[in-house]
Chains A and B, each alone.
Chain A
Amino acid sequence: MHHSLNEIEALAKRAARGAGLSWGMAEEAGRATRWLASHDLAGPALLSDVLAKNDRLPHEQVAPVSLDGEWHALAGELCPLAAGTALNDCADRLANGQSVNMASVSFPLLVLPFAAWAAIHLNEPVQVRWQNLWICTDGNRVWINDPDREINTRHAAALTCQIASKRTDAGTAPRSRGVVTSEVWAKLDVFAQRTFAPATAASRLLGAGAGVSDND
């Protein structure tokens, strides 16, 4: 089903919050999902997968232990939202050609939007690489080295981000709408529903402050 990008972002943010992310992280998750959806990439589906995998886990368990050396989680896999956010936060590290290397990342495609924002910040294309897949972005357009390869991987043993050379070929540009299957939408909505307070008669009357009649 077609959705506006604002709808996708709003649902993604609520879902992320519902799965226990902090508000600031949920905002990042919403933006990242929107960015992927605008490129017709499986952002909403991958978000629902990573939220299900890490449901209500504390940040420290899935975020990089340290920003020094190769990034890795305390135990198990890195959350791509936590790792991606940290990547964009310290994007300047990429400026002199250094790479950021991550070990064991879940749903690695979710790192791409953060690399895209790093690219905009640096005004240089940034490449995200895992296994034999290379995805390059200048923040707006996306280039995938092998379009036939599966990119919605559940796990990457090692992932590298670094500045790439400028591209002259077209790349794919973002669209103004996104497609989300009703199944994925429903999965995200289950998480999002956790953020809504159940309505009570009292809150209905007091919370919004209005009366009920409009007959004057």
Chain B
Amino acid sequence: MQLQTNTSQTIAKRDPELVMRLSRLGSFHQSRLSFMRILTRRMTRENWTFSRPIFEFDAKGVGHAVYCAHTPDRTYSLIAFGHDLPPDERSDRVIATRWDSTFTLFDGVPDAADIERLRQNIPLQEAGRVSEKELSVSRANRSVRLWDHVVSRLAAGAQPDQAEVAKVGYLMRTTAVYGSGKLGAADREMIADRPECAAPFQIEMLSVFLTRTYVRDLVQHMAYRKGEAAAVKLDADIARSMGIGNSTGLGMAPFLVNHPKLFNNWISAREEAIAIVRSVNSATKAEVATFRELLDRSILSADIWHSEHEVQVEKLKRLRSDLSALAAHVANADLCGPRPWDKLYAWAESRLGEDAQECLASLMLEPYGGLVDHLADQMSDKDRHAFRIDGTMPVAELRAVLERAYGWALDIDWSAKDQCARAWYVSQEKLEPRLGERFDEPIAPYEQPLAPGRDAAALYAALKDEDGDRSLAAFLLAYPEHRHSVRRAQIVDRAPYAEIRDNTIGSDLMPIDMLRCKLSFFGATHFDPRSDRWVRICMFGNAPYPEELQGSRGDDWSYPPLVKGAKCTTH
């Protein structure tokens, strides 16, 4: 192993106090440990094969298809239903009731009875029911502008305009991908022991990967039906440049708070990878060359990343200028000297903003798949007993834990209006998580426990007058309202990256920071906030299609190719 000869791991993981602030989490970039890349690496390594046993659609795109992914041990099938959706019903809000296409990922190969059963349920999404044979439920809407453009161009015998394609980046975007037991589907626990499900969200990523293929095939089908003999096949490079869009609202933000141990494992794996690479004693020419190429491609990626959101526009400006500064520095820096990556990171830490620092941190991992890719298997949460509270812990010990992990929160005046201006709640409609103004809306009675800092400070205050030797079991008997905070504190004590160390209910909260953090772990690029709490992204842009996996070079598809034209930008 290279690990033994080329590193002497003395560099520690970065301090949670530094990493777990919202502004930094909201500056994360995809990396080798992103869930999409973990999936495409596995599919390539294990020679997964793919088939399309059913593809039956009319000229309007109404019908259904089945796409099968065959792993060495089993088959997963995406069942896609195409619908004819009137424009006035096309909404990417989670509260919509009809979509252009609806999907489920089926465990195995569906028979006719399965498909019939699912035809009655999948198009209804939340209003339908599925069974333990189904692993996910999702839906997608067309990007109407690009869809019509591509169909009419192909039908007329021409390729789509590449600038138009680049402007949008995808033909369809998903608005929700439900997994793990939702709507009656199989719980994650049912499949967690399968090797291909060891990393998080692999089922959801596979569903999106197959959805992208379906979308390409459907647009082609509709072009052929429209243009008949005049129609042409979509150019493979243009097709590859297109990903699947995704609109993500607030639903993802509470996820990070509600799964502290899982969140810790994501962050901890990436931090471990960064520490390993910073500890590399010397870099080979080939490793340096890989880094330099992907830095160039990152610069291109930032150049073609568009957003009209004012915060993102400013962040992008800084990212672009920082990446130029980084490139200039790298051009002259000696990356063949001792501890090159640690030196480079230290330079970036003192000169660049958080966005570029995180971009660099992800980039540094690229030449070192052999050292870091195995960390993917540590990113799930297998510890089902982390939930248990150790009631024998004395009050004094918990106080010390709180001071260590929540020091940032103990100094905040949580009664000040701007520190607690917001409240998270769940609406009656489709159980959608929302964020409201505590002092303007009647939502406080419905508040969800999504302000761990405030609650930890309240716990700390309650502990103040307690006997330090008293057991937590006795304390909690008298103060059940602090039970969730005690649980979190004990988890954070063992898992230091479990908690966002920032105010999640302040007036200046930007929920998109939480969304970007989660989506960067998915592997998303080109975050395009549409408001402070809603973001569009592109998934699998430039990725190989199923039939291209074996011929694909490495797994660096997340970075746009330097060749002009084959780009994916979201807009």
Q: How many CB-defined contacts (below 8 Å) exist between A and B?
A: 179
A203 touches B427 (CB 8 A): yes
In angstroms, Cα B384 to Cα A121, docked, is 12
In angstroms, Cα B471 to Cα A67, docked, is 10
Q: How far is the CB of B68 from chain A (nearest CB, A)?
A: 24
With A4-B187, A209-B532 as contacts: A193 and B389 at CB distance below 8 Å: no
Is B94 an interface position by the 8 A CB rule? yes
Is A195 an interface position by the 8 A CB rule? yes
B533 touches A208 (CB 8 A): yes
A206 touches B436 (CB 8 A): yes
Is B431 an interface position by the 8 A CB rule? yes
B481 touches A22 (CB 8 A): yes
With A24-B483, A210-B530 as contacts: A4 and B473 at CB distance below 8 Å: no
With A86-B477, A207-B435 as contacts: A214 and B91 at CB distance below 8 Å: yes
In angstroms, Cα B427 to Cα A5, docked, is 23
Q: How far is the CB of B512 from chain A (nearest CB, A)?
A: 9
In angstroms, Cα B247 to Cα A85, docked, is 40
Contact of A214 among B90, B473, B478 (CB under 8 A): B90
B132 touches A210 (CB 8 A): no
In angstroms, Cα B472 to Cα A169, docked, is 37
In angstroms, Cα B534 to Cα A107, docked, is 45
B484 touches A209 (CB 8 A): no
With A5-B187, A117-B388 as contacts: A209 and B533 at CB distance below 8 Å: yes
User: Which single residue of chain A is at the shortest CB-CB distance from B389?
Assistant: A89
Contact of B484 among A23, A120, A200, A211 (CB under 8 A): A23
Chain A residues near B533 (CB-CB < 8 A)? 208-209
Chain A residues near B152 (CB-CB < 8 A)? none
B428 touches A90 (CB 8 A): no
Chain A residues near B534 (CB-CB < 8 A)? 208-210
What are the nearest 10 A-B pairs in CB distance? A24-B483, A89-B391, A6-B181, A207-B434, A4-B181, A209-B533, A24-B484, A89-B473, A214-B92, A197-B446
- Chosen A-B contacts, 19 in total, with CB atoms closer than 8 Å, are A5-B187, A5-B189, A21-B480, A23-B483, A24-B482, A25-B483, A64-B477, A85-B476, A88-B388, A120-B385, A176-B132, A193-B428, A195-B446, A197-B425, A197-B443, A204-B429, A208-B93, A208-B534, A210-B249
A176 touches B484 (CB 8 A): no
Binds A, one of B138-146, B353-361, B543-551: B138-146
In angstroms, Cα B426 to Cα A193, docked, is 10
Is B485 an interface position by the 8 A CB rule? yes
Chain B residues near A67 (CB-CB < 8 A)? 471, 473-474, 477
B428 touches A197 (CB 8 A): yes
Chain A residues near B387 (CB-CB < 8 A)? 27, 31
Q: How many residues belonging to A are interface residues under a CB distance threshold of 8 Å?
A: 54
In angstroms, Cα B388 to Cα A23, docked, is 15
Interface residues in B476-494 by Cβ distance below 8 A to A read: 476-478, 480-487
Q: How many residues belonging to B are interface residues under a CB distance threshold of 8 Å?
A: 72
Interface residues in B381-408 by Cβ distance below 8 A to A read: 385, 387-392
Is B63 an interface position by the 8 A CB rule? no
In angstroms, Cα B189 to Cα A18, docked, is 27
A199 touches B428 (CB 8 A): yes
In angstroms, Cα B22 to Cα A87, docked, is 38
Is A141 an interface position by the 8 A CB rule? no
Interface residues in B443-495 by Cβ distance below 8 A to A read: 443, 446, 449, 471-474, 476-478, 480-487
Chain A residues near B92 (CB-CB < 8 A)? 210, 214
User: Which single residue of chain B is at the shortest CB-CB distance from A9?
Assistant: B181
With A23-B483, A196-B428 as contacts: A89 and B530 at CB distance below 8 Å: no
In angstroms, Cα B187 to Cα A216, docked, is 35
User: Which single residue of chain A is at the shortest CB-CB distance from B175?
Assistant: A214
Interface centre among A121, A203, A204 (most CB of B within 10 A): A203
Is A187 an interface position by the 8 A CB rule? no
Q: How far is the CB of A88 from chain B (nearest CB, A)?
A: 6
In angstroms, Cα B425 to Cα A31, docked, is 21
In angstroms, Cα B534 to Cα A63, docked, is 43
A24 touches B247 (CB 8 A): no
With A24-B486, A196-B431, A197-B443 as contacts: A90 and B426 at CB distance below 8 Å: no
Interface centre among A90, A196, A197 (most CB of B within 10 A): A197
In angstroms, Cα B183 to Cα A206, docked, is 26
Is B336 an interface position by the 8 A CB rule? no
In angstroms, Cα B132 to Cα A147, docked, is 29
A6 touches B249 (CB 8 A): no
User: Which single residue of chain A is at the shortest CB-CB distance from B425?
Assistant: A197
Contact of A198 among B90, B94, B428, B474 (CB under 8 A): B428
Chain A residues near B471 (CB-CB < 8 A)? 67, 90
Q: How far is the CB of B391 from chain A (nearest CB, A)?
A: 3
Is B87 an interface position by the 8 A CB rule? yes
Chain B residues near A198 (CB-CB < 8 A)? 427-428
Interface residues in A1-50 by Cβ distance below 8 A to B read: 2-7, 21-25, 27-28, 31
Chain A residues near B388 (CB-CB < 8 A)? 88, 117, 120-121
Interface centre among B91, B187, B385 (most CB of A within 10 A): B187
Is B432 an interface position by the 8 A CB rule? yes
Chain A residues near B389 (CB-CB < 8 A)? 88-89
Contact of B95 among A6, A21, A24, A204 (CB under 8 A): A204
In angstroms, Cα B435 to Cα A86, docked, is 34
Is A146 an interface position by the 8 A CB rule? no
Interface residues in A87-132 by Cβ distance below 8 A to B read: 88-92, 117, 120-121
Is B185 an interface position by the 8 A CB rule? yes
Is B16 an interface position by the 8 A CB rule? no
A63 touches B477 (CB 8 A): yes
B486 touches A210 (CB 8 A): no
In angstroms, Cα B481 to Cα A208, docked, is 28
Q: How far is the CB of A122 from chain B (nearest CB, A)?
A: 11
Q: How far is the CB of B433 from chain A (nearest CB, A)?
A: 8
Chain A residues near B175 (CB-CB < 8 A)? 214
